[in-house]
Amino acid sequence: MKKRFWKIEYSITTIVIFAIVLLLTPTSMFITSKEAAYIAKWNETYAKADYAFSAMLAQANSDLVKGLKSAKTEEEKEMYMMELIKPYLRLKEHEYLFRRYTQHYMDGRKVRKHDKYYFENLYTADNGHIVGIKDIPNEDENQSGFIMMFDMNGIIGPNTWGKDIFGLNIYPNMGIKAIGHNWTMDDLKRDCSAQGTGISCSHYYRIGGEFNE
């Protein structure tokens, strides 16, 4: 009987101590840990995307690549690009995402329909990511032709650029660069903060940058 009471008292004491530790631990520590995990996933995702586009470049004579180069409209270009990238990232289209998924910038503003970083065509990957792709019309080969976004934990929040959403530019030669790669360090620090959009965190975190309050 005494042994049983001792076990109960020990369990209660352990629970109380654990509760006190939770109360004394700053919430920011958990947030930082979670965001660090998203950043690690982003780096892995970027490496996979880099490999995928290198492999796509080797298909320069394929019908899909030829179709992409000759496509005239944004819709056609996006269709060909998605057909090229789907097998590598294992993407599937889901209509419900368009109705249920909303993105925000790091400063809290909602990503609006006519914003550059608003994506109408969304896909899910086997690893749970939400992926978007968008054609960016340009006449300069040194400018990106597409942008892609990756939400590291899918439809689950915060769905915010720089926290769980990151992106990359795709160039006409099938090369890729994280969004923000051509920004100055001051601009990166300013944007990758609670006062900025967070889109440039995609590059800033890849070069070891830290979040600025």
Residue 105 located in a structural domain: yes
pTM of the model: 0.76
Between these two residues, 73 and 155, which has the higher pLDDT value?
A: 155
Q: How far apart are CA 1 and CA 132, in angstroms?
A: 62
Residue 202 located in a structural domain: yes
Our count of domains for the chain comes to: 1
Residue 16 located in a structural domain: no
pLDDT in tens, 58-69: 765 567 666 676
Q: Which domain holds residue 182?
A: 30-207
76: tokens are 């056609």
Residue 147 located in a structural domain: yes
pLDDT in tens, 5-14: 444 454 455 4
pLDDT in tens, 139-192: 555 566 789 999 999 988 899 999 999 999 988 777 899 999 999 999 999 999
Residue 10 located in a structural domain: no
Quote the pLDDT of residue 2: 47
Give the H/E segment covering residue 201. helix 201-204
Residue 19 located in a structural domain: no
Residue 154 located in a structural domain: yes
